[in-house]
Amino acid sequence: MKQILHHSNNLLIALSVGLLFSLQSCGEKSVYNEYNKIATVGWDFGTPVRFETEINDTLSAYDITIQVRNNTDYAYQNFWIFVESTSPSGIVAKDTLEFLLADNTGKWLGKGISSTKEISGLYLENIKFPELGTYSFSLYQGMRSASLKGIESVGLRIVKRQ
């Protein structure tokens, strides 16, 4: 009887793993997903966090999100971030984004069960990259603090739309 149970457990595990991979392949297709850590002493104003990615498909549409991980040392309800994107030919676009990290009562928003919370914000939706090549994205903290504490890392995610 033990041998039959052991065999059925292995079969159940194999089916579960197969189902997981098949579900994952039907969902979004992330072509880039990176995080950069911020020094614990703080994120200096004017110091960029840089991301670079190679784009080899100009026909597909993409969504770009920016992720922010903060902890309870962060002193504000919101977080402003400046984004500077550069195309392979050197064309620069600048944007400003605001993230709400806490509600009016001070309760942290985002996902996470510890003192670290993560929140994502849509930066660009349904865009097509006009050129093949390397794109760079530079993120700057826009809170005007000389050294901003409580932001642990920021990330950039590019997803190909289905």
Average pLDDT over residues 6-13: 45
Residue-wise pLDDT for 77-111, tens only, equals 999 999 999 999 999 999 999 999 999 999 999 99
Residue the block writes with tokens 């911020």: 38
Q: With left for phi above 0 and alpha for psi between -120 and 50, is residue 119 left, alpha or beta?
A: beta
Confidence of residue 127 (pLDDT cuts 50, 70, 90): very high
- Confidence at residue 23, expressed as pLDDT on a 0 to 100 scale: 42
pLDDT score, position 5? 45
Cα(40)–Cα(106) distance, rounded to whole angstroms?
A: 22
Please give the domain boundaries of the chain with CATH numbers for all domains.
29-160 (2.60.120)
User: Percentage of the chain with pLDDT > 90?
Assistant: 78
Does the model's pTM come out above 0.85?
no
Give 33-91 pLDDT, tens digit per residue: 999 999 999 999 999 999 999 999 999 999 999 999 999 999 999 999 999 999 999 99
Please give the average per-residue pLDDT across 99-124, as a whole number: 95
At 144 the pLDDT is 84
Integer Cα distance of 101 and 155 in angstroms: 15
Contact status, residue 65 vs residue 127, Cβ threshold 8 Å: no
Say which DSSP state 39 is in: P
Residue 28: predicted pLDDT: 67
Single-letter residue type at 160: K
